[in-house]
Structure 1
Amino acid sequence: MALHQAFQDKSTAKDPRQTDALKLQARRHYVFDSNQRTCDESVIELIPSIRRLIEVRFNVEAIKKEIDANPDMPLELKLQKWEKMKLTSFARILALAYSYSLLTVTLKCQISILAADICTQFEKPREPVATGWSSYLPPGFANYFGSSAPSTSEPQKQPDVGSQQIFMQCIQYFTSTGIQQLFDNIEKAMEESLQNITLKQQMSKDEVRAIFESAEKRIFSEDGVEFCQLVAPLDENMNMVGETLQNLIRRLVRSLKSTECKDTTRALADYYLSTACGRIPGSSPAPLAKLIPPLSDTFHSISSTSFESPLRNSLCSSDVHQLAIAVFSSKIA
């Protein structure tokens, strides 16, 4: 019985079909992993420009400097400046959380879609087709008869590299246009969430976190912003681009609209927000005015790309990995 099993195992191991399947599987793993590493590098390279956009739009330091440089500022004007700093500090942290998270998931989806296309190229090669008398010739011998001999194979469809390159530039729409729309929505939602909270109000870290949650609900209400509209808005101009590019963009939109993508984006944003609130010193409730400066200062640590930064940890998260696999496996896109 053992001898029969050993012979059966040996026969199975030599099965060419199984060997080919294992080779394809190994190649898929290689393509996926190598493309994900490239994606991580791209995210890290784009982060400094995203951070600068946030700093320019929500310039907390300029407000602080103005208050400190004018000790004789009228009380009413000083209160106005503090109210502005309150809004700007909260909005800046929320803008960081969602712009970093959306950048990460968008590039992960794009790279996974292209990696899947690469695998399609070698998983489904066109089989040689021989017809007529040439089918009786030895392999390659029909070539000696020139163009008059029937073709022994169908042409291999080449990937549309140009469309793929343009597709990857979708992220430029987000970093130039979409992100400003995101900032607008965040500022409006945060202003509504803070309107009934005074600078003197005693607040704990959990209550500060609840302010962010309130703004998030406003941003992503039924009539709120859609992630895909910030990255790849589909409009009448879609008919002006090629079919391959249209297909890639539509797959990206399906990915960004998926429950998996939305949940992953919010999970990443939650990680940034929880980290920021957790780094506020002290454990007892304090007036909001005293919490604003340390909350604002957390921006500099959580926005970095250092080894232990939230960004690096998010790139290694299981949620992001599972999303990339789902898109790569065409379960979403």
Structure 2
Amino acid sequence: MFSSTWNFMKRHKRKLFFAGALVGGVYFLGKYAQKKIREIQEREAAEYIAQARRQFHFESNQRTCNMTVLSMLPTLREAIIHHLNSESLTSLLKTKPTNKLEIWEDLKIISFTRSVVALYSTCMLVTLLRIQLNIIGGYLYLDNSISRNGVAPLAPPDVQQQYLSSIQHLLGDGLSELVTVVKRAVQDTLGGLSLKQSLSLLELEQLLGLIRAQVEGDGVEKGASSSHRKPLAWYMMPDEENTLAAQACGLTENDVMTIKLLNETRDMLDSPDFQTVLNTCLNRGFSRFLDNMAEFFRPPPADSNPGSMPDSLSQVSLPLAKIIPIVNGQIHSICSEIPSHFVQSSYFSASSQDLLMIEQVKDFAANVYETFSTPQDIQH
């Protein structure tokens, strides 16, 4: 039996050799495939975990953005009221002064100016902080998730503080200049209107459009000052030359890192995507403002029915003297830090929280975070 088996193997040794090699190859190939599949699964699991951690960090960062915006609104509101103090005029009117008409004219300009400034500055605050905190958030993610091999962190605490303090430009010099520009536009648009002139909501919307056109540079040039109109981004960040001049007496390593962050922020502010996002916020803000105003243009209940409400609303007019106090009080809704409707959503009102919910703002924030939380960016 062994002899026959041996003879069989001798006769078919080449076939047996190839069969053995094939079986061995299949075995080792199977082992290799299992190893590769396991490596792919482990890599996919690691990528999934990293992506989940990154998403969690991003969402946490957005909540920080929202809370930061809301916490700064009272400061912004007080700064605007400091520049445009209508309360002193309303108090003066209660004393029945002889120059009552003159005071009313001043109140007209100041009331519209401070509501329009509140709309612009709140939109700027929301969008600027989205950029700054997502740049910082992206760098912090890299600092915490990637081995730095002894290299200094991208966003140490001192740099974060120095960088984020640049928001004071919007609350200081930027706001002062914005007040000047808006006040000039309001004076040009409303200065000639009589206090007795009646305006419909549509006419009020058209007047606001003229003011926006002059402030944003989309309208007909009026006077020599129009040729020197600054872009909206100027009110949000100091000029690069001013930043460098302030640091001219010797730059520390933290100063260099801060200037880098400021320049990256300016690049974002100059991008077409940001211009689109800011314009979307402004459109939403002015729309919410008009929603608030619409509540005061509704006809008396006895004169209206559900079927005629929209037409009646467009027909209602109010004297400018009655519109002024309504406009004057809108700053408390626009710059409200408590849940209201300009910065989170509800249909009839104007609070800055609605701006935080705009999809374009969310998408833009995600793009900024994505840009600054990817490892290759740290090599630039």
Q: Which TM bucket (shorter chain)?
A: 0.7 to 0.9
SS of the counterpart of 2:194?
Answer: coil
Alignment equivalent of 2:233, drawn from 214, 228, 243: 228
Asked whether 1:100 is paired with 2:122, we answer: yes
Shift of 1:31: 1.9
SS of the counterpart of 2:135?
Answer: helix
Q: Deviations over 1:144-173 (max 9, x none)?
A: xxxxxxxxxx53443341223211111122
In structure 2, the partner of 1:119 is 141
CA RMSD of aligned residues (A): 2.6
In structure 1, the partner of 2:354 is 313
Q: Structure 1 CA distance, aligned partners of 2:139 and 2:356? A: 23
In structure 2, the partner of 1:147 is none
Asked whether 1:168 is paired with 2:164, we answer: yes
Gaps of 5+ in 2: 1-32, 218-226, 298-312, 343-351
Gaps of 5+ in 1: 1-6, 127-153
SS of the counterpart of 1:182?
Answer: helix
In structure 2, the partner of 1:269 is 282
In structure 1, the partner of 2:303 is none
1:121-200 maps to which residues of 2 (within 5 A)? 121=143, 125=147, 155-161=150-156, 162-200=158-196
Aligned residues with identical type, % of pairs: 23
Is the CA contact 1:67–1:78 (under 8 Å) kept in the aligned structure 2? yes
Q: Structure 2 CA distance, aligned partners of 1:62 and 1:156? A: 56
SS of the counterpart of 2:172?
Answer: helix
Asked whether 1:209 is paired with 2:205, we answer: yes
Q: Structure 2 CA distance, aligned partners of 1:223 and 1:33? A: 40
Shift of 1:49: 1.1
Q: Deviations over 1:223-269 (max 9, x none)?
A: 42223322322106426443322221111111112222233223323
Pair 1:245–1:275, CA change in 2 (3 A):
same
Q: Structure 2 CA distance, aligned partners of 1:207 and 1:29? A: 46
Q: Deviations over 1:103-136 (max 9, x none)?
A: 111111001111121233356546xxxxxxxxxx
SS of the counterpart of 1:306?
Answer: coil
Using structure 2 for the length normalisation, give the TM-score.
Answer: 0.70
Q: Structure 2 CA distance, aligned partners of 1:272 and 1:194? A: 20
Q: Deviations over 1:185-225 (max 9, x none)?
A: 11112111213332232211121122222111111217422
Using structure 1 for the length normalisation, give the TM-score.
Answer: 0.79
Q: Deviations over 1:278-326 (max 9, x none)?
A: 2231230222222222222333333322223312222222122112112
Q: Deviations over 1:40-96 (max 9, x none)?
A: 1111111111111112222222212212211xx33xx22211111111111111011
Q: Which structure is larger by alpha-carbon Rg, 1 or 2? A: 2
Asked whether 1:51 is paired with 2:77, we answer: yes
Asked whether 1:35 is paired with 2:80, we answer: no
Is the CA contact 1:227–1:256 (under 8 Å) kept in the aligned structure 2? no
SS of the counterpart of 1:312?
Answer: coil
**Larger CA deviation: 282-291 vs 223-232:** 223-232
Q: Structure 1 CA distance, aligned partners of 2:233 and 2:281? A: 17
Is the CA contact 2:119–2:334 (under 8 Å) kept in the aligned structure 1? no
Is the CA contact 1:31–1:119 (under 8 Å) kept in the aligned structure 2? yes
In structure 1, the partner of 2:348 is none
Pair 1:292–1:155, CA change in 2 (3 A):
closer
Is the CA contact 2:185–2:215 (under 8 Å) kept in the aligned structure 1? yes
In structure 1, the partner of 2:308 is none
In structure 2, the partner of 1:87 is 109
Q: Structure 2 CA distance, aligned partners of 1:98 and 1:116? A: 27
In structure 1, the partner of 2:11 is none
Pair 1:211–1:114, CA change in 2 (3 A):
same
Q: Structure 2 CA distance, aligned partners of 1:53 and 1:264? A: 25
Asked whether 1:296 is paired with 2:322, we answer: no
Q: Structure 2 CA distance, aligned partners of 1:45 and 1:119? A: 24
| Count of aligned positions | 294
In structure 2, the partner of 1:19 is 45
